[in-house]
Every structure is written in C-alpha cells, then in structure tokens.
Structure 1
C-alpha cells in the first residue's frame, strides 16, 4: 500500500522558528508568526503542491475555530483535504452531520474528521460539558452512531444515555462520506475507535510501541467485523545530512527555557489523557537522553502538549524510520515542523522523492 502524508495548519498561532508550547490544558507559548488567512493559505497551497493529501487542524480554546478557518482556506486552495477536529457533545449529532455534509459537498469531497472526545475535563467544562472522561467516550459512541446513520440517508430515532434524537434526517447526504480519524490510548478510546473510525491515529512513540497499539486496535476492530487504517502524528526535522538535522534539533532545544519546561510539565501532568501521559514519560522532563529510538527525538514534548516527538535525520534516514513504522502497520503520517511552511518544503522536496523511488509513495492525483 502506498503511504499517505498529511501536514498541519498552526491555527493556534503555533508557528515560528522555535518550538511553540501549549495545548492539552496548557496555555500556548509565544509564536513568531500570526494566524492569518494569507499565511495559512500559503501553507495549505504549498502542502498540496508538494504532495500532501490533507492538513490537520486542531481544536481548543487556545486556537482558532477549525470549521470557520478551514471553510475560508478551502477557497484559497485547490485539492488539499482538511482534517477538521470535531468535539462530540458541543453540538447535536444532527447538526454535526449536516455541517460535515455541507462542507464535504461544497468543497468537492475535501473534508476529513478528527474526532476529539476531550482529554481535559477543565477545558470541557469551559465549553459547558460536565461529563467525566468515561461519560465523554460513552457519549461519543452514541454521537457517532447517529452521525453515521444520518450520512447513510436513514431517518434516525435514537434514545441513548447521552444522545437523543427523533425523526432526524438529512435532506442532503454527503456525496462521499467524510473519513473519520480517531485517537486515544485508554480502553474506552479503543472501543470507540474499533466501532466507528476509518483511521486510528497515534502519537510518535518508538515503532515497537506503535506496533503494539496497532495490534490492539486491530483485534478490537475484528471483534466488530471491521478493518481500520493506521496513522502516525509526529513532527519532522530532516536535512541534507544527519549532522545538519541534529544541529537543527539542538538549535530548537537551546530555545527552550528551563522554567517553561517545568511550568508546562506541571500542567500536562494534570492531563487525563493516557496518550499525553505516555508522551510525558518519553521525554522525562529533562534535556538528557531525548533520542528515545534511533532518529526519534522527544525534545518537542518538553514544552508542547500532544504530539511531542520528531523524526530527525537526513532525508534517507527519515525515510528509513518511516519504513520502520510502515512495517508495524502505519499507512499514513500527519506531520509538522518549525516553521511549518519551510518544514513542508524540507520534507516534500527531501523525503518524499526518496520514498517515491522506493515505491512507498505515489503523488496523489488532484480531486
């Protein structure tokens, strides 16, 4: 299977020449480049020209709204898909299904959904959601059940513990059902992913650990009579030589303040996300021993919530590491860099041609 590659849109203002912290309940650090439609459009157009298939757009009080932002960016780009973060529980499933249908049909099939159940209760309460973590996953299960049935053109009557609709129906259904991507490391997350996801996303742990997650979700999906694809969310630092790439990692690390490390780590330690705790364990909170697997660097996670690791090395070395992940079941990657615009070119012009020569990637045909 040919690998797919997706990029990231820094709608949190999280772009610049240094690592920008924040996320998962932690305030974002200062960034060097503001969020504007012209700049985000520049990233989107560059990504689609380089061969990336979609762009992940985050969600939270710390960034611009994903739906509004991508609706604007769909008009300044041609073929790039938008992996829009959706939080079940902050709107009705019927409205969510209708919004997704409108976006999908009007953008010519360029919507993908990253379902974010919510790992931080404090942030959820700020949006008016007072369920605990287990309740949020139970509601997500019901929510996605209704949404998927509506996309199939059904008239839905549903009375669950958290979701209730009567006579729900879409007068317009999506010409192509939006792909659902889903992440989470807890047992409850695994069950929801197995029942509803098309792609299971995981953060950049060492290949052996990622392989264990792939096997776990595959077994759960098989029990549901389903098959999933698997994606990896990770940063990348690739250069013409290994020495240049590691020098860039060292430069990024030198721009991280010790006080910021302590402050961010204290905030992230309160996270209810199992995946976030796994990311924290990888970095250890110190500047030492950050290469946790050959070519896999945990320095980003010292100050950034969520994805905290990066693939580091020459173009060929990064391609080799991607092959390792592919061997344990990864079908696609969601990548980012600092800064995002230049990073897209480094990867698109450096690593993608190597993977193409190896028969592992083929440039997508524009929709």
Structure 2
C-alpha cells in the first residue's frame, strides 16, 4: 500500500463548521504537518486546490527543503493556465524536488467558482479542454528528453513549436492522478492518466466504479492503477473513535449544514452528487457502510467520508479496498497534525507496506519510547490481537 497524508491549506480544526478550535493557516503549521508526514513514513501528501485554499504549487514548493522523501500530489486545473506553462512548472518542481512530484488533474468542481476564475464552459466542454490540455502537456514533457517540439491544433487549445528545455526527473513525465465519476471523466481517465482516484464510497460502489474504469481503459489498450481518498478517525478503541466522530460535528448547527448542502447541490460534479447522496444532509444515518462515516460530508466538499475505528478495524477496512485493486490511499483527519501520528502509530504496523528504513520513523533497532528511570529501555510493544494479512 502507498499511504499519503494531506496538507490542510484551507484550514484545520478540532471541530467542523465552527471557528472554535480552529487553527491559523500558516507556513509554520503546514510545515509541521509536512515534516510529521515525512518523518512518520507517509509516501506523499495531497495539496487541495480552489479559491478556499492557499495556492498548492507555491505551498508545495515552500516545503521541498523541509522534507526529504515526501512526494507532493499537486493539482493542475486545465483551462486555468496554459498547458505549456503547467508543463514547465511541473518539470521545474520535479527537478528541484529530486523527482518528488505527482500531478492531480482537477476538472470538476463548483461552476460559480470556475466562472469567477474565467472558466465558463459546460461540463462537456471542460472535459474537452482537459483532454486537449493533457495531450499537449504530456507531449511537451515527453519531448523534453529528446529536444523535440509539440504542434497541436484542437477545438479549444492549439500550440505551435511548443517545448520545454529542462526535462523532469521522472520520465516521460510525473505521474498523472485524476478523479471523476461522469462518463466524460471516465473516458479521460481511461485514455490519458496513470492513477484513477475515487472518493470513499462503500466498497460495492467502489468495486463497480473500478470495473467500469478498468474496462474502458482496456478498450483504449491501457491499464491504470487506482487510489482512494478518505478521512480517518482512529483511536485505541472503536468506542473512543466513534466518540471522536461525534465530537467532530458536535459544534455543527443545522443552518450551516443547509448552507453547505445548497452549495454542493449547484455543482455539476457527479462525484459530489454521489457524496451528498450518502447522507442526504441528515445526521441520523451517517454510517453508510461498516465503519464508513459520512459526517465529514455534511459541510465539507469533495471527500466526505471517514473510516472510524481502532487500529485493527481501520486496517481491515483499508485491506477490503486494497482487495478491490486499490494501491494508493490518500488520507486525512482532524486535526491533521495529531491524526497523522495516531494513524501512523496505530495502523501502519498492521498494513502491508514497504518499509523505508532511511526514515527515523522506521528505525527498526530502537529504542522506542521514553527511557524508564534513566536506565531501563521500555519493553517491546505488544503485538495487536488482530493483524491484517499481507497476502
């Protein structure tokens, strides 16, 4: 399993939907979360995009020197910038970070927000633009390794003699990640991206989506990898985890939920529609699948579900998704700094992951914990009663 964490560039809190317990979005705090993820052994971090967030590229660039192994999954929005400029930005970031860039292609979202950025196309037109954008982007970066030029004439985008002089470290280009549930999105994924992402729907729905994308990719003569975006609420006991879930929305009033749901309803994103349908804006039936809780989606757009439980339970649920074909898990939790430690300490030992022994978080020789009475090393931690098979 590849396990990613999340940089909360839109803010962080102990409670959803209120300023109480809120944290300032500062470079110091984002650096704390990034360094924690790097030290604990997460494979990478996702940086969100949109007008509610600090810019993902600037933020990620500021964290290159603060981290050593961490990869950065950064969004590009086709139509918001030229594909050639985005290609040069990607090559530069990949070179400066030593090959640590992953690119998240974002096409859907809030039409009102897109219009405020000067993007007025229909849902279909936005995917046509994304298709042409990626064809140019991929060709420009691919040809940086041979010195070639790109010529392309499309319905929405055209370039003549396009090129980037400095190639990325990763050949032919940094991997492309993408999520979308509409037919247009699945067609785009099947033809052009490397990793298809889904939000945290119940396993049966995820299995159906993976089968559809896999079949569509096969028709295009391609194979894809798969990833899932989830929140996590992990505690020593499952009872404590469910209490933490209740506490997360304990300051949330019905008026705030209603405002959020009205905003989500105006979006033309099929993925957002599916997220909202899991709870219908109601608090009474938020466990939509065993240990899968939709409370986050009452007010948060995009990923709206969390896995809730103790370490073995959450590990088992992740393994269920892995058995469907998912190998990348992009996780987050509130507050992001503390939850990154909880998940790493309580769940990492139960997951089939390749250990990176160059990181302090995977120092296999110890000692672990505080020295007892200045002299005695603490005894080894007891093995969990339930472990997840690596088969």
Contact persistence 1:53–1:364 (CA under 8 A): no
Higher mean displacement: 68-77 or 96-105: 68-77
Distance in 1, matches of 2:357 and 2:196, equals 24
Contact persistence 1:282–1:292 (CA under 8 A): yes
Distance in 2, matches of 1:149 and 1:253, equals 46
Distance in 2, matches of 1:160 and 1:365, equals 48
Equivalent in the alignment of 2:132: 142
> Given the alignment of the two structures, is residue 281 of structure 1 paired with residue 277 of structure 2, yes or no?
yes
Equivalent in the alignment of 2:289: 293
Q: Deviations over 1:89-148 (max 9, x none)?
A: 111111110010000011101111110013322111111111111101001011101111
> 1:253: Cα distance to partner?
2.5
Which TM-score applies when normalising by structure 2? 0.88
> Given the alignment of the two structures, is residue 310 of structure 1 paired with residue 306 of structure 2, yes or no?
yes
Q: Deviations over 1:176-210 (max 9, x none)?
A: 02111000000000011111111101100000100
Q: Secondary structure at the match of 1:254?
A: coil
Q: Deviations over 1:63-92 (max 9, x none)?
A: 111111111111211221111111011111
> Given the alignment of the two structures, is residue 331 of structure 1 paired with residue 321 of structure 2, yes or no?
no
Distance in 2, matches of 1:321 and 1:131, equals 39
> Given the alignment of the two structures, is residue 19 of structure 1 paired with residue 9 of structure 2, yes or no?
no
1:167-246 matches, within 5 Å, as 167-176=161-170, 177-246=173-242
Equivalent in the alignment of 2:25: 35
> 1:38: Cα distance to partner?
1.3
Greater relative contact order (CA < 8 Å, ≥ 6 in sequence): 1
Which of residues 52, 71, 77 is equivalent to 2:67?
77
Structure with max Cα Rg: 2
For the aligned residues, what is the CA RMSD?
1.4
Q: Secondary structure at the match of 1:201?
A: strand
Distance in 1, matches of 2:265 and 2:164, equals 42
Equivalent in the alignment of 2:262: 266
Distance in 1, matches of 2:81 and 2:20, equals 31
Q: Secondary structure at the match of 1:283?
A: coil
Q: Deviations over 1:10-32 (max 9, x none)?
A: 1012x1111258xxxxxxx7771
Distance in 1, matches of 2:275 and 2:197, equals 14
> Given the alignment of the two structures, is residue 99 of structure 1 paired with residue 89 of structure 2, yes or no?
yes
Which of residues 341, 346, 355 is equivalent to 1:363?
355
Contact persistence 1:151–1:174 (CA under 8 A): yes
Which TM-score applies when normalising by structure 1? 0.94
Which stretches in structure 2 are left out of the alignment for 5+ residues?
Answer: 360-391
How many correspondences in the alignment?
353
> 1:246: Cα distance to partner?
0.6
Distance in 1, matches of 2:108 and 2:290, equals 32
